[in-house]
Each structure stands twice: as C-alpha cells, then as structure tokens.
Amino acid sequence: MKNKVIIGISSNIEIISDTHNLGKERSILNQDYVKAVIHSGGVPLILPIIEHQELIEAQVSSIDALVISGGYDVHPFLYNEEPHILLENVYPERDHYEKSLIETAYRLKKPILGICRGMQLLNVVFGGSLYQDVSLIDGDLIQHRQKSRSHSLSHCVYIVPDTRLFSIFKQEKIQTNSYHHQAVKRLAPEFKISAKAKDGVIEGIEKEGDHFILGVQWHPEGFCLQNTYMLQLFRELVHAAHAAKGTG
C-alpha cells in the first residue's frame, strides 16, 4: 500500500430511535463519500467524533488528506451570533471536534476538502460567518434545497477563473445538486470565492496559497458515479495528498 494515500472522512452521530437500541449514539456516514474516495484512487477512512486533542492529533497524523462531510447546521456561537429562528438542528460536539480536526490538519499541512456543511465550517473556523438561512439574503433566490435525489442536477454554479476550482473543472459553468439552507456570509480572511450561483449565493471557497483547502457547497459525492467529471474534485484531493506525503 506504499503508493496509496489515506483520506480521512469526518462522520456524524445519529441517535437511534428503534426499540432495541433506543437512545444509543451511532457514528454514521453516507457510503457515497467512501465510494467517491475509492473511485479516485484513495483509501477511505471514516473518522468518528472524539473529544481529546491528543487523540485528534493521532487521527490526523494517520491520514494524508481530510474530507469534512455534510450534516447539521454549524452552531452560530462559533461566529458570535445568537440562533436565528430559522436555524435548524445543531450538534455542538461535532462542531468542536471538526474545528479541532481542521486546525490540526492545517497545522500538519494536510489537504482539506469541505463539502456543504464542511465548506461552511471551513469558512467559520478560519474567521468567516454564515447566513443562518438563505432567506435572509436580499434578492431573488433560486432553490438551494432541491426536492429530488442527489444524483439529479439542480442548479448551475459559475466558477471564477484563476481559482483552484477552475483548474479542476476547466469550465466556467457546471451543473450541481444542492441541499443547503445556510450560506457563507462574511468570507474568512485569506480565502477567495471560487464559485457562485446565479443569485449570488457562494458555492465554492478556497484558501489562498499552495495549501489545498477548498470547499464546495454542493454534494459532489452524491453524483460522482453518474457524472464522472465530478470525481475530478476527489482525484485532485488524492493528488494533493500524494504531493503532501511526498509520493506524488
């Protein structure tokens, strides 16, 4: 396995409501993420939510790149706001875990890909803020929470030239799925916008400089196998993981 890179994927916790396991917490992740990493040539490793920094360091040391997956809303305390009435489910333990995970991966120079909530959390951890619901944005909004399955395309995304995202897709306009009700408000310092929807909602961000830290608001893993061009995002992450590890 010398030439393989390990891609850590953060997971969620579900509280079980069936009789036999009532109230139990279970670590979960949609298998789409696992398949996307495998089809991109990486070795997927699901990372459970843990608390202690020492263990988080060990988790990050054992991977070559990190995917922050989708999930609940980020608690607005992380960007110094009170909860708006339109805020949905939050799970602060996951916020704190992933904040540490991102900070540790950043310090250890591991590439990071944030997906949906993962992109929003990247923005928050590096000093930005969020709209707690897209309806709080002025103007005529398009639908950002599609009512169809994740492999069906929902809205267009316009990619900004001269960004890492553009170098991945080599197109100014792509079609994506969309499953979010929050959005980036104040962009984190040292980040740039790499994609927007037609209504101006931010759909992609990336950190300036050589370190691969990139977020997308859609779910590329949801339709990687139907639209192979979307796999390119994961292939670039695997490529960056090789480069960081020194096996590229």
Question: Which residues are marked as active site?
Answer: 116, 219, 221
Write down the least CB distance from residue 155 to Mn ion, Å. 6
Residue 198: enclosing H or E segment and its boundaries?
none
Residue 119: enclosing H or E segment and its boundaries?
helix 117-125
Q: Measuring CA to CA, which residue among 60, 184, 203, 46 is closest to residue 123?
A: 184
Write down the least CB distance from residue 222 to Mn ion, Å. 13
Of residues 196 and 211, the one with the C-beta less far from Mn ion: 196
Number of CB atoms found within 10 A of residue 85's CB: 6
Measured CA to CA, the distance from residue 46 to residue 50 in angstroms comes to 12
Binding region for Mn ion (CB under 5 A):
144, 178
Residue 237, both tokens: 């992450």
Residues 6+ positions from 142 with CB-CB distance below 8 Å: 155, 197, 198, 199, 201
Of residues 117 and 144, the one with the C-beta less far from Mn ion: 144
Write down the least CB distance from residue 143 to Mn ion, Å. 8
Of residues 88 and 93, the one with the C-beta less far from Mn ion: 88
Of residues 119 and 124, the one with the C-beta less far from Mn ion: 119
User: What is the DSSP secondary structure assignment for residue 222, as one 8-state letter?
Assistant: G
Backbone angles phi, psi at 57, to 5 degrees: -60, -45
Measured CA to CA, the distance from residue 193 to residue 18 in angstroms comes to 43
Query: Which residue number has the CB closest to Mn ion?
Result: 178
Write down the least CB distance from residue 144 to Mn ion, Å. 4
